[in-house]
């Protein structure tokens, strides 16, 4: 029988019970529900609201319930709707009316708000650790290939030469901001809502600060209505997950391009690829493609949460039961990405010779010529125009930029000297970019050292 059924004269229809249940997905909160209840009854006993012996009996049986759940020896029944009622009902089965004291001075509204905050706090800590592992995999590839040069792209067009290591470290920076967002979100998650009741608090003399300390929260919520009604902390988390997924989707796109025959810059290990059911020769980067698709899924979870909350009047509404579906899905999806990507990156084969061949196009050094003119005190816009005219001159004559004579170069760049003919070396182009944050060998080496120290 439902624990809330005293006011009702007829039983819930079977289809309504099935429609209303959340135990199929919120049972994963069992550990946090038990943790919260143990802290709650400890406070109730300290405040003289329940006997100390009852507190000890409830806490002991809660530990027993946790062991039963983890051993697979716990029955679930949709008539009891959610994990909170299952655990309370199991207490009452063993302890009788004394077990029913567990719910003194609380509602399922503040109880679920507590459970989800406890759960998300643990998940955030786990995710940050996994992000660091992902970063280490990218840094390891950068460290193993410090001299590999490839074309950098803007608008998916060859732009300038860059180091492969520099490209990897760009994603390390993105993941670091992802970790920062999670850590910042954790501060807003780590606020204790229990004691807010259904919406108005309680008339019983509880000590919320004691529970707060017991559960390791930073502070208690200041407004009972806000505490049970809002899920902005969860929306913020899923937003951070969506940004992370976007970053991995972009990395995936780079890898998909680099694996293609047209680029042939990297090869993913067979363990992270699949074949074609029709074409025997195919080796497809399916993990990367799936990540692009799973990114859309996380976006959908974020949109679902925002839409779910946008029209809710204060305070709690049953719509919020569905928040966990989106939250859990986003977390599960991101955890799968974080599980598969570090080993995929670690085992990726770099084809430095192919990268170097693509980076040898002298047009990639056109900006170097313009900046050489700036060194000779030519205004940059003038320099830019002259080098553009030089590129046009070479194209019209079917020549590469490094195939012209000094006299031919001077037809469009009158300031050119013999030194200008030496500016088409990719290694030299990279080496000269020796400013903080640039792709120069020395700068990238410093960045690799920095990240190895930070991530040690």
Work out whether strand 149-154 and strand 349-350 pair parallel, antiparallel, or are unpaired.
Answer: unpaired
Contact 363, 391 (CB under 8 A): yes
* Distance of alpha carbon 166 from alpha carbon 451, whole angstroms: 12
Strand ranges (E), 180-316:
191-192, 219-220, 266-267
Burial class (CB in 10 A: 0-12, 13-18, 19+), 72: exposed
Closest CA to 194 of 89, 116, 92: 116
3-state secondary structure (DSSP) of residue 53: helix
Tokens, residue 185: 């979100």
- Give catalytic status of residue 385 as yes or no: no
State yes or no: is 155 an active-site residue.
yes
Kindly give the interhelix angle for 83-95 and 30-46, rounded to the nearest 10 degrees: 50
140: number of Cβ within 10 Å: 18
The active-site residue out of 276, 360, 389, 429 is 276
**What residues does 274 pair with on adjacent strands?**
284
State how far the alpha carbon of 197 is from the alpha carbons of 222, 406, 417, in Å.
Answer: 13, 83, 81
Q: Pick the catalytic residue from 9, 10, 155, 277.
A: 155
Burial class (CB in 10 A: 0-12, 13-18, 19+), 133: middle
Reference 191, options 138, 92, 127, 116; nearest CA is 116
Please provide residue 82's backbone torsions phi and psi, each rounded to the nearest 5 degrees. Answer: -135, 175
User: What count of other Cβ atoms lies within 10 Å of the Cβ of residue 87?
Assistant: 25
> What would the two tokens of residue 117 be?
């905050």
**Residue 24: burial class (beta carbons within 10 Å; 0-12, 13-18, 19+):** exposed
Residue 45 in tokens: 């006993």
Q: Which residue has 């990540």 as its token pair?
A: 291
Residues serving a catalytic function are 155, 276
């Amino acid at each position: 029988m439902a624990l809330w059924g005293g006011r009702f004269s007829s039983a819930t229809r079977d289809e309504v019970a099935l429609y209303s249940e959340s135990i199929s997905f919120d049972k994963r909160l069992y550990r946090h529900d038990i943790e919260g209840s143990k802290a709650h009854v400890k406070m109730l006993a300290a405040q003289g609201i329940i006997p100390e012996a009852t507190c000890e009996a409830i806490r002991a049986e809660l530990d027993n319930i946790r062991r039963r759940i983890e051993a697979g020896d716990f029955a679930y029944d949709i008539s009891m709707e959610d994990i909170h009622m299952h655990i309370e009902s199991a207490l009452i089965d063993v302890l009788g009316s004394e077990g029913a004291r567990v719910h003194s001075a609380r509602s399922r509204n503040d109880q679920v708000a507590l459970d989800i905050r406890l759960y998300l706090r643990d998940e955030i800590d786990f995710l940050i650790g996994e992000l660091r592992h992902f970063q280490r995999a990218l840094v390891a590839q950068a460290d193993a290939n410090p001299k590999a040069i490839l074309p950098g792209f803007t608008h998916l067009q060859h732009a300038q030469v860059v180091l492969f290591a520099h490209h990897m470290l760009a994603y390390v920076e993105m993941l670091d901001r992802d970790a920062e967002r999670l850590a910042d979100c954790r501060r807003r998650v780590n606020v204790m809502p229990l004691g807010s009741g259904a919406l108005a608090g309680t008339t019983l003399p509880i000590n919320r600060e004691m529970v707060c300390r017991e559960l390791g929260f930073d502070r208690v919520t200041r407004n009972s209505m806000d505490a049970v009604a809002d899920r902005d902390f969860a929306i913020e988390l899923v937003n951070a997950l969506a940004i992370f997924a976007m970053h991995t989707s972009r990395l995936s796109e780079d890898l998909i391009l680099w694996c293609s025959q047209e680029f042939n810059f990297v090869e993913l290990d067979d363990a992270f690829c699949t074949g074609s059911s029709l074409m025997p020769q195919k080796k497809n980067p399916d993990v990367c493609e799936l990540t692009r698709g799973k990114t859309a899924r996380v976006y959908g979870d974020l949109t679902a949460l925002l839409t779910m909350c946008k029209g809710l009047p204060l305070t709690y509404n049953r719509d919020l039961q569905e928040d966990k579906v989106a939250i859990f899905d986003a977390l599960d999806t991101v955890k799968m990405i974080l599980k598969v990507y570090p080993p995929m990156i670690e085992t990726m084969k770099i084809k430095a010779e192919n990268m170097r061949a693509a980076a040898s196009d002298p047009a990639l050094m056109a900006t170097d010529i313009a900046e050489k003119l700036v060194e000779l005190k030519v205004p940059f816009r003038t320099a830019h125009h002259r080098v553009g005219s030089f590129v046009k001159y070479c194209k019209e004559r079917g020549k590469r930029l490094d195939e012209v004579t000094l006299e031919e170069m001077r037809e469009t760049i009158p300031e050119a000297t013999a030194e200008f003919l030496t500016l088409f070396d990719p290694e030299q182009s990279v080496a000269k970019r020796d400013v903080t944050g640039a792709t120069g060998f020395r700068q990238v080496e410093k960045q690799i050292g920095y990240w190895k120290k930070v991530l040690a």
